[in-house]
Structure formats: structure tokens, C-alpha cells
Chain A
Amino acid sequence: MAIALEQTRTASRRRISRHRVGRVVGHVLTYLGIGVALVFFLGPFFWIVTTSLKANNDYFAFPPVWIPDQPSLAHYVRLFTNSSGFRYFSNSLVISTLSMAAAIIVSLPTAYAIARWRFGGGVLSTVLLVLRMLPAIALIIPLYIMYKALGLTNSYLGLVIAYTVLYIPFAVWLLVGFLRDFPIEIEEAAMIDGCSRLGSLVRVVVPIIAPGLAVVALFAFIATWNEFLFAVVLTGIETKTMMVLVTSFTSGGTDMFYGEASASVVLGVLPAFAVAFALQRYLVKGLALGGTKG
């Protein structure tokens, strides 16, 4: 009897230690997998950044020099001066900021109408799906003709209008979600105190859902910052964005302008890095539902 008990205990101890080994191996494999993924997904950025800091003899050397021992910002300086990088970076900044602000200003009331008054029935999700299916190329052809006639090409206004409207459906959709979670009693209290609808929206709702607004704003910023087709067709020498600038370094192979090319990529992906860190918690919701695609 005692021996049988002893045997069961040893067997169960063996089972337990097998489980523990299994768990450790599982952990190691998991973190190994994550490590490989990190190298694969972030490695390119690492190389681009180091390349943007390299001097000529570093870039053209073999055996390859992976990390320059005398990093310099010469390429960035040249990008900003010779290639008008400063102007185009500001263009992107201005256009994205204005579009983001305009999108929110126009979308918030609309989202309110839908959240509070079920405006438009259940049309919104259908509209969203339809717009998702729409390729930008279908829109840019007639828009280009219209803009040319109105003189809106090569202007901030033209691009901001287009970007704002393109992002309204997403902004509305995200905001409807935030507004639905908003307790209506607070609004009612404000209106009993004499606030108008609009007033209550602006003075009561907005401050409280401000974090949500910030999320939508940042996603809108990224979507418009990354947009390419409209930018390449509708901008001219004064209004080019960073996305268009990067394409001027592709002719003749990427070796001739490697410094400007890598520097402009670094600048072009800055917002993505910034927003990713700022919005870690919202990434699943916003990204997964397409909030960063224009």
C-alpha cells in the first residue's frame, strides 16, 4: 500500500516537472518568436536610420559597415537645403494638421447626430463599407479635372478638402463609438441649466471625451500624412508632401541619393513611431478597423 502511494507520488511529481519543463520551453520559444518578429519588422528601420547617418565611404564599403563610427547629420542638412526638405516637411505637417482638425470639427456633430438621434438609420456602416471598397483612383480622376477647373491644384486648400472628406466616415464611426459610451445624464443636466444642444456638445461632451478625440485626431493625422495618390497628382512644386518628395530619389538607382533617400524615409515614418507609442492601448481598435488608411 505504501509502495503504491509512493509510486503515484513519484509519477505525479514526474508529470509536474514535465509540465514545468514544457512551460519553460514554451516561454523560451514564445520570446524567441517575438524576438525574431521584432528583428524582421523593425530591422529595416534600424538600417535606414544608420544609413542616413553614414558618410560616403561607410555606405560604399565592403565588408559592409553596419554602424558608422562617425555618424553625421550631413544628409539631413542636405535634404533640408538642396532638396527643399524643410519646405516639404512643413507642407506635410500643415496639410495633415489642418485635415485632422477639419475632419474632427465636421465629424463630431455628425457622430453626435447619429449617436443621439439615430440619424440616418443604420446607413453609416454600409456607407463605410462602400467607401472602403472604393479605390482612390476612381475618385482622383474626376477630382483632378474639377480641381484644375477651380484652380485648386498645387494648393493647401485643395488637398485639405479632399483629405478631410476622405476621412469623415472613419472619424464619424470612431466618434459614434465614443459618444455612445457617454452618459447622457451629464448632458441633460447641462441643458436643463440652459445650454443649447451645440453648447452642451462643445462645453460638456468634448472636454470629457477629449482623449477619444485625441485618438481619432492622431489616426487622421497619420492617414493623411501617409496618403500618396492624391498628393502626387494634386500637388506642385510649392505644396509637395514628404511622400512625394521621397519618390524623387528613385531615378538612377538608389545609390546616387542614398543619403537624401534614407533621411527622407526617417522623417516620413516619424509620425508612425510617435503615434504608435502614444496610442498603444488604442492600436487594436483603431488600426484593426482601418483608422490609419486614408
Chain B
Amino acid sequence: MRRTGLLAFALVLVALVAAGVLPERAPAQGAKPYAGTTIRAVVNAEYVKYSLSLVEKELFDKHGIKIETEVIPLDAFVAKTLLEFNSGKSPWDLVMFGPSNMPDYGRHFEPLDPFIQKMKLEFYMDDIPDVYKKLMLRHQGKIVSMPYDGDIHIMFWNKTAFERPDNKKKFKAKYGYDLAPPKTWRQWDEMAEFFHGWGWDGSDQKLFGAGASYKPSGSGFSYHWWRARFFSYGGMYFDANMKALINSPAAVRALDEMVRTMPYYPPGVLLFESEEPKTMLIKGEVPMLYSWTSTGKRVGDKGESVIVGKAGFGIVPGAEIDGKIVHRPSLTPGRSMAVSIYSQKKEATMKVLEFISSPEQSLKIVMDPKTIMDPWRVSHFRADAFKKSFPDADKYLKAIEDSFPHVVPDPVIPAANEYQRKLSFEITEALARRKSPKEALDSAAAEWEKITDRRGRDKQKAQWGERLHEMKQVGIEHHPEWAAKAK
């Protein structure tokens, strides 16, 4: 009896000692220094949260770090996050943001270099194309963020619509030139008119002429669609004196064309955000769409798309000026990730940033059609896996790279979000026929002047001066005479 008691006691003692000892021998030194940490991320849409979930497991296995992601809807995102930062704190460690808003966000982000030195992090900076490097990394010279989603607009079309002999005959008869993916805006508008209201896929369904997203928003939908025309007609956001040029003849012409062609778009287009027109494209309901590059992944997704292998990819239409076609696709640099300076877990968050930005992990994210994230690394564009992931994926990747020399960024100055929001709102007002294009753009220009005054005209002028210079270096300038002579 006493012996069993003693034995039991010894066993308990051993168990206690083992329990006391084991945790200390748990992975401590070197292997996973941040194990057990949870960092908080903030993003602006459910699919961004989903994209993070793709790499969460490997992150946890490799580093023992968990991510807790909060979603703040798009419309309130910039305002809410900036409010927190401006009051000197933030509940988040990892912050997703729109790089066009870097002037407003940049000072709240932790520069990467000291951490790269200290922790020997590797971000493969050379593996980023110039187009994104210029826009998505730096604030006042220092690198404070890594790209997460490289957004530009390219054109997608339904090959069936353009290659059916019947369609070709009808088009040539009516418009006098060959049916082919549009290269100019005039061609786009004529083809939208042509395709609208009948079964250009050979069925007897009533299909639509073209797709677009005309909802107003801060990272603007209608505004992005409009400015592809606006810039190809020689437009510019402000002149060198910070006067808003968004009601210039180029602007009015662009908006006028959009209002006139409204009937050729699906009825709900004024409320479309990014995904609705893409869905219509891949379901064969619209023959052409220019939109974010993430469309391509959905086009090739066999589960959803009926145009797998039957789609074309190219550069957004432009304007014919003096015999040459000027393309100005929108660069709407989707998303970057940064570490907040108010974070209590900066090192762990840096580690996470390194992980999700690594070529392998980021490739996973940009290849998945449900994440809506777009390729941003050179290696993404060269990856065999990506090129073979769906039919013509290589042509899709090439179209993106072909567009790089022509892309136009947002006005990357303080209050960028507000400028875009107010302009986008007025554009949609005109599209909804609540105002004439001139009235709408005049209102927008007046709003822009108000914003400039509120933020300090001189400050804005200085920042804008730098942007103007950068754009000039890649050949994007204000050409007031183009609006009249563009064909």
C-alpha cells in the first residue's frame, strides 16, 4: 500500500517536472523567435482577407505567427484608417493601403531598411518592375512598404464575338472597316453600339455592348474608366499652378462620349464595382471590357468562365493623334502592405511582410482567381506555372507588360482619396443624367479647388510639381490641343 502510494507520488512528481521542463525546451532559440505572436492586419475587402488566408498556414508552420485580419469596407477605409493614425495610434500592425494615398499614409509607416539590416530580411527588390517600384515603395525617399497587388487596366475581349464570320460581315457592312479588337475610343464606342441588344455569340439571347464599372468611389470606379479617355485626349489633373484641369475640353469630351454610349452597357452599370462586369464577361454576356488585370485569372477559371481559351488580351484603347495612337491605360496601383510605426510587434510584422512578399508566396496569391490580387513581380510575369495556368495566360501576362510604358498613375498628393472620390461622384452623376457632363465636371473642379485650399495650396503645389515632373519623364503631359483633333 505504501509502495503504491510512493510510486504514485513519484509518477506525479516526474509528470510535474516534465511539464515544468518541457516548455522551456520548446523552440526558443533561433528557430522561431516570434512563435506565438499574433499580428493584426487591416484590409479593405473580404477577398483581400481571403488572399491572406492562402498563406496563413505556411506562415504559421514556418514562423509560428498568426494573422488576425480586420476588414473595413472600401468606402470608409481611407478615412477610418487615417483617422486612427492621425490621432497617434493604431490597433493594427500590418496595414494594407492604396499606394496613391502614400502622401497621407507614408509618415505612419516604419521604414524597412533598419529592419532589413538588423534582421537580415530579403525582399528581392530587383524583382519588381520599375512601374511599381516607383509608386509602391517609397515615402520621402525611404522604403516603407512592399507591393501586394499590382493593378493596371488592360483590355479583355470575347473571341467568339470578334471572329464569327457573320458578325464580321454585318460590322463591315455597317461601319466600313474590319471588325477587330478596338484600338481607339471611337472604335470601342462603335463596337459597343454594334454588339448591343442581340446574340453576337450565335444564340438568340439579348446581350450587351460592353462592360464597365461606373459606381463612384474613393479608389474610384467611374473615375478610372473615364481617365483612360481623358489622358489619351491630352488631359491632365492639374496644371503647374495647381489649377484643376478636370473640366477642360478633353475632360468634357471623354465624359460626353461615356454618357452617349450609356445605352450599350448593362442596366446596373452605375452601381457596378469591380466584379460585376468581370462576371458578365466570363459568362459571355459582354463582348469586351477593360478592367483590372485580375480579370484575366477569372477568365481562365474553368469553374466559372465560359470563355476559357476563347478570350483575347490587349492594351486599352487610345486616341489617334496625328496618325499615331496614344494609349493611356490607368495605373491604379492596387495595394501595398506596410508596418505601422505604432505597432508593438514590429519585428514579427516585418517577418510577416517579408514572408507574404516573397516570390513564392506572392505568386500563390496573385495566381488564385478568387483573391483579385494582380501580379507585381517580374518573376510573376516570367513564371512558367503562371504562363501555363490557363489557355493564353502567356498572352495575358504579355499584355500587362506591354502596357507598362503607357500607364498613368493617380494624382499622388495629399488628399488623393478625396480628390478621386469627389471626381468619381460627379462623373457618375453625369452618367446617371442628373447633370450635364460640363456641369458635373465644373462641380468637380470647384470641389477640387476647395480641397486644395483646405489642405494648403502651396503645399499641394509643391507635391504636385514633383508628380508633374515624374509624369513628364515618361511622356505624359498636358496637351490642350489634342481634345479637338483626336480621332
Nearest-neighbour CB distance to chain B for A158, whole angstroms, equals 15
A251 and B74 within 8 A (CB): yes
Inter-chain contact B273/A247, CB cutoff 8 Å: no
B91 touches A248 (CB 8 A): no
> A148-B87, A236-B91 are contacts. A251–B45 as well, Cβ < 8 Å?
yes
Partner of A253, one of B71, B73, B87, B275: B275
CB closest residue in chain A, given B272: A253
- Check B46 for interface membership: any CB of A closer than 8 A: yes
Most buried by B among A148, A154, A247, A253: A253
Q: Check B71–A248 contact: CB distance below 8 A.
A: yes
Q: What residues on A are CB-neighbors of B71 within 8 Å? A: 248
Cβ of A252 and Cβ of B276 under 8 Å apart? Answer: yes
A75 to chain B, nearest CB (A): 15
Cα–Cα distance between A274 and B273 once the two chains are bound (Å): 37
Q: Mark A231-267, 1 if CB is under 8 A from B, else 0.
A: 0000011000000000110011100110000000000
In the bound complex, CA of A268 to CA of B325 (Å): 55
A247 near B73 with CB under 8 A, answer yes
Q: Are A252 and B273 in contact (CB under 8 A)?
A: yes
- List of B residues within 8 angstroms of A252 by Cβ: 273-276
Q: Which of B46, B73, B276 is packed against the most chain A CB atoms within 10 Å?
A: B46
**B91: chain A residues within 8 A (beta carbon):** 154, 236-237
Contact A253 B276 (CB under 8 A): yes
Does B73 contact A237, Cβ atoms closer than 8 Å? no
Contacts of B46 in A (CB 8 A): 248, 251, 257
Residues in B neighbouring A253, C-beta threshold 8 A: 273, 275-276
User: B305 to chain A: closest CB distance in Å?
Assistant: 15
Smallest CB-CB separation from B53: which chain A residue? Answer: A82
The answer to the question of B70 belonging to the interface, with a C-beta cut-off of 8 Å to chain A, is: yes
Return chain A residues, CB-CB under 8 Å to B70: 236-237
Q: Which residue of A lies closest to B271 (CB)?
A: A253
Rounded to whole angstroms, the CA-CA distance of A253 and B269 in the bound complex is 12
Q: Within the assembled complex, what's the spacing in Å between the Cα atoms of A192 and B275?
A: 75
Q: Which chain A positions have C-beta within 8 A of B74?
A: 251
Whether A256 touches B73, Cβ cut-off 8 Å, given contacts A148-B87, A236-B91, is no
B83, chain A: closest CB distance, angstroms:
8
Contacts of A237 on B, CB cut-off 8 Å?
70, 91
B87/A251 in contact, CB under 8 A? no
Q: How far is the CB of B157 from chain A (nearest CB, A)?
A: 23
Shortest distance from the beta carbon of A197 to any chain B beta carbon, whole Å: 46
In Å, the complex CA distance between A236 and B70 comes to: 9
Contacts of B275 in A (CB 8 A): 252-253, 256
Q: Considering the chains assembled together, what is the distance between the CA atoms of A252 and B91 in angstroms?
A: 27
* Chain B residue at minimal CB-CB distance from A247: B73
Measured between alpha carbons, how far is A253 from B278 in the docked complex, in Å? 12
Q: Which residue of A lies closest to B276 (CB)?
A: A253
Q: Which residues 53-88 of B have a CB within 8 angstroms of A?
A: 70-71, 73-74, 87
Q: Taking the nearest CB of chain A, how far is it from the CB of B153, in angstroms?
A: 18
Known: A148-B87, A236-B91. A251 touches B73 (CB 8 A): yes
Which chain A residue has the least Cβ–Cβ distance from B68? A237
8 A Cβ contacts from B258-293 to A: 273-276
Shortest distance from the beta carbon of A156 to any chain B beta carbon, whole Å:
16
CB closest residue in chain A, given B268: A253
**B74-117 contact mask (Cβ, 8 Å, vs A): 1 or 0:** 10000000000001000100000000000000000000000000
A253 to B45, CA, bound (A): 13
A44 to B289 CA separation, bound complex (whole angstroms) = 35
Contact between B73 and A248 (Cβ–Cβ < 8 Å)? yes
CB-defined contacts of A148 to chain B, threshold 8 Å: 87
In the assembly, what is the distance between CA of A251 and CA of B372, in Å? 14
Residue of B nearest to A244 (CB): B73
Query: Which B residues between 233 and 274 are near A, CB-CB below 8 angstroms?
Result: 273-274
Q: Could you say which residues of chain B place their CB within 8 Å of the CB of A256?
A: 275
Nearest chain A CB to B39's CB is how many angstroms away?
14
User: In the bound complex, what is the Cα–Cα distance between A21 and B74 (angstroms)?
Assistant: 62
Inter-chain CA distance A171–B8, complex, in Å, is 64
Closest to A148 in B: B87
The interface residues of chain B lying within 8 Å CB-to-CB of A248 are 46, 71, 73
A263 vs chain B, min Cβ distance (A)? 15
Taking the closest CB of chain A, its distance from the CB of B297, in whole angstroms, is: 16
B window 4-47: CB within 8 A of A: 45-46
In the bound complex, residues from chain B placing their C-beta under 8 Å from that of A251 are 45-46, 73-74, 273
Closest CB-CB distance, A218 to chain B, in whole Å?
Answer: 32
Q: Can you list, as one digit per residue, whether each of A214-237 has a CB less than 8 Å from chain B (1) or not (0)?
A: 000000000000000000000011
CB-contacts of A9-63 with B (<8 A): none
Docked complex Cα distance between A207 and B91 (Å): 46
Min CB gap B241→A, angstroms: 35
Q: How far is the CA of A257 from the CA of B275 in the complex (A)?
A: 13
CA distance A154 to B83 in the complex (A): 14
Q: How far is the CA of A256 from the CA of B74 in the complex (A)?
A: 16
The proximity string for A residues 108-148 relative to B, scoring 1 for CB distances below 8 Å and 0 otherwise, is 00000000000000000000000000000000000000001
Residue picked from A154, A236, A252, A253, most chain B C-beta under 10 Å: A252
- Distance in angstroms from A67 CB to nearest chain B CB is 26
Least CB separation from B42: chain A residue: A237
Min CB–CB distance B342 → chain A (angstroms): 15
Q: Which of A154, A236, A247 counts the most B-chain CB atoms under 10 A from its CB?
A: A236
- How many angstroms from the CA of A57 to the CA of B280 in the assembled complex? 19
Report Cα–Cα, A154/B71, bound state, in Å. Answer: 15
A256–B91 alpha-carbon span in the complex (Å): 29
Give the Cβ gap from B94 to chain A, nearest Cβ, in Å: 14
Measured in the bound complex, the distance between the Cα atoms of B71 and A247 in whole Å is: 12
A251 and B70 alpha carbons, distance in the complex (Å): 16
User: Which residues of chain A come closer than 8 Å to B73, judged between CB atoms?
Assistant: 247-248, 251
B274 — which chain A residues lie within 8 A by C-beta?
A: 252
Task: List 10 extra interface pairs beyond A247-B73, A251-B73, CB under 8 A.
Answer: A154-B91, A236-B70, A248-B73, A251-B45, A251-B46, A252-B274, A252-B275, A252-B276, A253-B273, A253-B275
In the complex, 18 of the A-B residue pairs with CB atoms within 8 angstroms, ordered by the A residue number, are A148-B87, A236-B70, A236-B91, A237-B70, A237-B91, A248-B46, A248-B73, A251-B45, A251-B73, A251-B74, A252-B274, A252-B275, A252-B276, A253-B273, A253-B275, A253-B276, A256-B275, A257-B46
Q: What are the nearest 8 A-B pairs in CB distance?
A: A237-B70, A252-B275, A253-B276, A252-B273, A251-B73, A251-B273, A248-B71, A248-B73
